[in-house]
Structures are given as C-alpha cells and as structure tokens.
Amino acid sequence: MRILVTGANGLIGRYVVYRLRADGHNVSGSCRRPGKVRGLPADIDLIQADFNTDVDPQVWHDRLGGFDAVVNCVGALQDGAGDNLENVHIRGASALFSGAQSAGVLRIVHISAIGADAKGNTGFARTKAKTEELLSETEVEWVVLRPGLVLAPTVYGGSAALRGLAGLPWITPLPASSEPVQIIGIDDLTRIVSLAISTPELVGGVHDVANPAPTTLPEIVAQLRGWLGFKPGHALRVPNWLMWPVTKGADLAGVFGWRSPMRSTAWAQLGQGVVARCDHLPDRDLIGEIRPLEAVLASAPSTLQDRWHARFYFLKPLIVLLLGIFGIVTGLIALWPGRGMAESELMAVGTSAGAAAMLNLAASTLDIFNGLLILWKRTHKLGLMLLLAVCGVYLVAGSILDPSLWADPLGPLIKVFPVVALCLVAAAMWEER
C-alpha cells in the first residue's frame, strides 16, 4: 500500500515510517520543515505540512491523491510558540480527514493518547477527544490507537525527561503522587499500527494499547537507572506546591519556543495516571502481547550515548538559561550601575568621552539583544554563534588596547574561555530530534 505518515519527524512517526517500510509498504512522510529532518531514510518522499496553518481540506486533497492510507502521528502537548491545540488537533486534523475522504484514501489510522476525554482537565485531553470525534464522522475506514506512555530507544519529550531524572546523581525528584502508569514499547506500538493498516476487525474502534500491568513513575525511573547502569538513587517526593514554579517556568519556556516535557500539561496528565479503559481494550488475539517495562528495557542494552544524554538532559536548559541571562544582565549592568566604570576604562586607553559612551551603549545593547537571541528557540543557535564572535572580538580588542588585562588577578580576559566552552557545548546539544 502507499501510505502517508503525518508527523514523520516525531518520536512515534519516525518509528512508524521504518516499520511500515520493513513490512513492504511504499511510505511517504509529512513534517513542518523537511529540509531540516535527519534520521529518516534518504529516499523517503517528505511533504511540507503544518497542521497549525494547513486547515483547508483542499490542500490535503491535493496532497493525498494516490495514497491508500494515512497514519496521523501529529500532536501537540499545549499551546506555545508554533503550536495551537485548536489548529493542530481540530482544524488541521479535520482538514486532513476531509481531504483524505475526497481524495479516495481507504483507511486512516490515528494516534491519540490514553486519557483523551471531552471532559478532561487539560486542553490536550479535550482536543485529542475532539479529533477522535471528527474522525469517527468521516466515511473513510478509521482506527484510533491510544498508546500509553511510549518508551523508545530514541527519546525526547516525556520519555527523555524520565531518562533525565534517572540520570540525576544521588537524589531523584519525583511527584508526590504515584498514580498508575501503563507503558508500551515503540516496537509493540508500531507493530499494532501496521496491523491496523490491514486488519478489518480493528476498523471503527478506539483502542487503548498498553501493557496491562500498571507501574508508577518512581518504578519506571528506578528501572531506567538500573538499565543505564547507574547506582540506585534516593527518591525525593516533591509536593505539588513545589512543582508549580517548575511547571510554570517550563510553560514560560514554551512561549520562547522550547517544548519542555516539564510543562504543566504533562504533569497534569501524569498526575491523573495513564490507565487504559476497559471498554477500549482491543482483542489481544488481534494485536498480540504488549511487553511489560522489564521486557522493553531488556530488549536492548544501554549505551554510553544513553548515559551521556541522561546526565546532560537537565544541564542543557540550565546552560541555555545561564548564557541568555548572562548576556542580558551584563548589558544592563554596563548601561546603568556600571556605566561610569565601563566608560572610564575605555577612556583610560585613549578613547574620547563621547566615543566611550557610544561604544558602551552599542556593546551593552548587543549583549542584551544577544541574550534574547539565545533564549528564543528559533534564534538560539544564531545567538550562540554571535556570542562566540563577540568573545573573539573582546579577546582581540582587550589584548591590543590593554595587554595587562591578561595579568589581572580577576581574569577579565581569561574568564572569557569558560563562556566560549559553554557556548560550544550548547551548540553541540541544540538539536532536539
């Protein structure tokens, strides 16, 4: 069959692409920025599509001509820069379903989530439920799969955060509540997706797919620590009132384009548990066994790269925050409380008072602007490159104008090198997928 996988650059979408190709299907994918995608087969056809803006059914009708099936893996956790739940889960999805119907697509497999509910306590749950309702109203054969917490060798989003927690030394902070969580390995999920493409008995059903044995977040993190080869840590239960500033800080990062799994929606969803509904369980004879957590982790060894990722996971946002705030604060200091000192130092090496004031204003403004570039996701890498250039100019100009700075006990020039090192580390880790 010729199949389009929407959201092909996402965690689930990537594995679905590989699974369907291995099963002999002709697979194409869609994503927001095809030119920046890495890790998918080089010969796959990628279509540029954005559910935030592609809300016209005719657009999807034109794209879907000749396709037999669609697997929709597109989703967003909550509103933020570049994401609008109403568009992604409702308007964009509705356009896809209508366009698929008019284009003659035979079947749509939609990846939803356990907990989708029209009366849910998050916009994510409510809009996911609306997507399912819209799909059920089409005349195309459809299947809805609601996976539990998805675990995969490649991680970002919630599964990456769990590894990050497992990588923290000594103490592992966890939510105070321990609601049950049902997991599914990515291999089991993609196998079921492939079955949904060709199994008539699954058509017209909303299926919760997860291992039936529930676990908890502390148990998952503890087993991940063991799998990574780290010593057992001491679980620290964090009360909800203390988690609030963390989740709100992550929500604020979302305004700057960072899709942190620490946002309030993620913790609200986990706080109510991830448990399959009895009335949505598919026939096990149709979908086969879904492995438990122990078997999923035992299917492959952890690697050095896994351990590095776990250890660096929470260091990355800390580095980004420090570099961004560093630029903004140093610029503000030079503009106000330290203005006189900065201009005096420039005049001490022969610069006129007027020129010193202008140079200080220009450098301070550049520092603040550069800090904002680093904090904004879309311009983050540009900001890092600019900061490296500024550091280079600072070192050269300082060496020429006042070589004695190299011998200064406070090390104003020597201290530039740790900043350069942090920039290089941040640049090496800027990719999220």
The tens digit of pLDDT for each residue in 390-403 reads: 999 999 998 998 89
If residue 184 lies in a helix (H) or strand (E), which one and from where to where? strand 183-185
* Residues 129, 348: Cα–Cα separation, whole Å: 68
Return the CATH class of domain 2-313: alpha beta
Structure pTM?
Answer: 0.89
Rg (CA), the chain: 25
Q: How confident is the model at residue 29 (pLDDT cuts 50, 70, 90)?
A: very high
Question: Chain-centre distance of CA 69, in angstroms?
Answer: 27
pLDDT of residue 289: 95
pLDDT of residue 22: 97
* Residues 376, 370: Cα–Cα separation, whole Å: 10
Q: Is residue 181's pLDDT more than 90? A: yes
Residue appearing with tokens 């969580």: 181
Q: How confident is the model at residue 268 (pLDDT cuts 50, 70, 90)?
A: confident
Q: Closest Cα partner for 359 from 338, 372, 343, 336?
A: 343
pLDDT of residue 346: 82
pLDDT of residue 345: 81
Q: Select the more confidently predicted residue: 255 or 99.
A: 99
Q: Is residue 371's pLDDT more than 90? A: yes
Beta carbons of 371 and 327 less than 8 angstroms apart = yes
Q: Is residue 157's pLDDT more than 80? A: no
pLDDT of residue 279: 86
- What phi and psi, each to the nearest 5 degrees, are found at residue 327? -65, -45
Q: Select the more confidently predicted residue: 433 or 40.
A: 40
Average pLDDT of 136-147?
97
- AA letter at 17: V
Segments of the chain assigned to CATH 3.40.50.720? 2-313
Q: Beta strands of 260-328 (E only): which ranges?
A: none
How far is CA 324 from each of CA 86, 248, 419, rounded to the nearest angstrom? 31, 19, 11
* Residues 173, 166: Cα–Cα separation, whole Å: 10
